[in-house]
Structure 1
Amino acid sequence: MSQSLLQKHYAEKVVPALMEKFGYKNPHQVPAIKKIVLNSGFSATADKNHVQYVNDEIAKISGQRPVTTIAKLSISNFKLREGQPIGCKVTLRGEAMYDFLTRLINIALPCIRDFRGVPTRLDGQGNYTLGLNDHTIFPEVSAEGTNATIGMDVCINTSALTDEEGRELLKLFGMPFRKTSSEVAAEEEAAAAATA
């Protein structure tokens, strides 16, 4: 079975770079992406057509059929009854995960209007969650004739033990993290020195 471009990139470029930076003795110590979970919720009062629409759109984006998540408790304030559908999720692993990550980084994120990078904050254990407001940034979805835009969470689960390792792993994959003010200042200084 042929490897995807990102899998080759991980083996050839990411593993050596992380071994050099963090001083790993063994390539198996190097953090890797284990899975990516796409999760989209909808209102408890959503009709069956909307539930089907969200499921179909997530299936187009991920290439896998999502699982509909169901309410475990009844909450009257939210007009929520036990057993009611409240969202859908899909878990990607292996080649499908790398294909999705390639499309997310190279195609979807640059399509966001006024895009300045994604937040750099991880969860404390090397995992990264990114919220997207509009699903039509993905090329598989046509913006024409859509009922509504769907928001979703993209959870990237890594084997990194710290946020620093997880951030560096995603950065080497090409994740366009937002630059801090100190990084911007350093780049401006370097540009000024080059022109002088």
Structure 2
Amino acid sequence: GQKPQVTKARKSIAQFKLREGMPIGAHTTLRGDRMWEFVDRLITLALPRIRDFRGLSPKQFDGQGNYTFGLTEQVMFHEIDPDKIDRVRGMDITIVTTATNDDEGRSLLRRLGFPFKED
């Protein structure tokens, strides 16, 4: 549901000091009110706080109308206390839409207020 799932390493990689089964990340799926609240906070508060932000790339659609983008740090969310962060961690965000192609998805997200770069 809407609780984070811990992602664990599938294989050990010595160069990264990584052992099989070690927690390496987390993922969650937001739906309903929590999803809309997150999207609203992302568009109105978090994205404008990114340094040198010039808009999201309009080319990161997957061919089925879904959009994925990455953030390099989590400090743009004001709910996160910077004093409690041990190191900078990024995140990938995937917006899954009911659109059937990239143009429909781009149009939908643009109307929702996503700030895309102009081509």
TM over 0.5: yes
Work out the CA distance in 2 between the residues paired with 1:145 and 1:81: 26
* 1:3-23 deviations in Å (ceiling 9; x for gaps): xxxxxxxxxxxxxxxxxxxxx
Distance 1:143 1:75, change over 3 A: closer
* 1:29-51 deviations in Å (ceiling 9; x for gaps): xxxxxxxxxxxxxxxxxxxxxxx
**How many equivalent residue pairs?**
117
Q: CA deviation at 1:73?
A: 2.9
**Residue type of the partner of 1:112?**
I
- Return the structure number with greater relative CO, CA threshold 8 A, min gap 6: 1
1:69-80 alignment runs, 5 A limit: 69-80=7-18
If the length of structure 1 is used for normalisation, what is the TM-score?
A: 0.55
1:82 aligns with 2:20: yes
Gaps of 5+ in 1: 1-63, 181-196
Identical aligned pairs, as a percentage? 50
1:148 aligns with 2:96: no
Gaps of 5+ in 2: none
Q: CA deviation at 1:158?
A: 1.1
Instruction: Give the structure 2 partner of residue 53 of structure 1.
Output: none
Q: CA deviation at 1:149?
A: 1.9
If the length of structure 2 is used for normalisation, what is the TM-score?
A: 0.88
Higher helix proportion (structure 1 or 2): 1
Work out the CA distance in 2 between the residues paired with 1:174 and 1:100: 13
Larger Rg: 1
Q: Partner of 1:136: helix, strand, or coil?
A: coil
